[in-house]
């Protein structure tokens, strides 16, 4: 499974990248706003750091506008994945941009039918939003499973990018089902390393080590 980091914070990306935990980055207008930086400037900096796909999102609502913005964003670096919403106009934009050889991440997916359309339109990535479905008492992970089944049935090359990840269990379940990629905030990715029994075991080892009176260095 590939790990994308869902942030525009350079320091957070760099920390995870140093450990080999970053296969790509996803951003959106909210994350750009949170960073307080110019979209082209911060995206270019991320693209220089990360070899994998870096998603940069269009904000136009019409297909023509999305295509124009997508082409402009793609000028930032070769590893830009243009992010468009899963609307009819977004699908039109996806078809044009993917036909030009650009990576396209179709976002805000909430149904298997939408995911099927995105694959037909040539999407590189489909981003189903797990957490937001869970928020309205629907099963976000069931959507991942449904998309996996459909894509495997017809050998679609579109990669399932599980998004709106809120917990480490979301990541575990997405990996078990077979999502190709997850994108999550740095805090959730780092939380994968945490377990109370690890902490308890380490505490016991250190107490026993102190009793020996020994030093390694």
Domains of the chain plus CATH, in order, are: 2-212 (3.20.20.70)
Q: How far apart are CA 127 and CA 196, in angstroms?
A: 32
Q: What is the structure's pLDDT at 30?
A: 96
Tell me the whole-structure pTM to 2 decimals. 0.95
- For the chain, where are the alpha helices, taking DSSP H only? 10-18, 29-35, 39-49, 63-74, 88-99, 112-120, 130-135, 140-154, 168-177, 186-191, 196-212
Which DSSP letter does residue 87 get? S
Calpha distance 105→118 (Å, rounded): 9
Which position among 83, 92, 207, 211 bears the catalytic label?
A: 83
Q: Both tokens of residue 187?
A: 């805090």
Distance between CA atoms of 37 and 48, rounded to whole angstroms? 16
Active site residue 34: no
In tens digits, what is the pLDDT along the chain, a chain of 217 residues? 999 999 999 999 999 999 999 999 999 999 999 999 999 999 999 999 999 999 999 999 999 999 999 999 999 999 999 999 999 999 999 999 999 999 999 999 999 999 999 999 999 999 999 999 999 999 999 999 999 999 999 999 999 999 999 999 999 999 999 999 999 999 999 999 999 999 999 999 999 999 999 999 9
Burial of 24-56, coded b for 16+ CB within 10 Å and e otherwise, reads: bbbbbeebbeebeeebeebbbbbbeebebbbbb
């Amino acid at each position: 499974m590939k790990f994308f980091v869902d942030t525009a914070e350079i320091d957070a990306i760099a920390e995870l990248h140093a450990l080999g935990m970053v296969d790509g980055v996803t951003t959106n207008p909210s994350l750009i706003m949170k960073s307080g930086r110019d979209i082209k400037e911060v995206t270019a900096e991320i693209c220089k750091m990360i070899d994998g796909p870096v998603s940069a999102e269009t904000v136009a609502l019409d297909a023509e506008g999305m295509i124009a913005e997508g082409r402009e964003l793609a000028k930032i670096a070769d590893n830009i994945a243009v992010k468009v919403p899963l609307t009819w106009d977004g699908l039109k934009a996806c078809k044009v941009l993917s036909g030009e050889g650009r990576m396209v991440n179709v976002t805000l997916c909430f149904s298997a039918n939408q995911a099927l359309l995105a694959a037909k339109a040539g999407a590189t990535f489909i981003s189903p939003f797990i957490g937001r479905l869970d928020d309205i008492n629907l099963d976000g992970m069931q959507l991942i499973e449904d998309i996996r089944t459909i894509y495997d049935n017809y050998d679609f090359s579109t990669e399932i990018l599980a998004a709106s990840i809120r917990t480490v269990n979301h990541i575990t379940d997405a990996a078990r089902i077979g999502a190709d990629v997850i994108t999550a905030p740095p805090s959730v990715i780092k939380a994968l390393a945490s377990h109370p029994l690890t902490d308890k075991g380490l505490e016991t080892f250190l107490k026993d080590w102190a009793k020996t009176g020994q030093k390694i260095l």
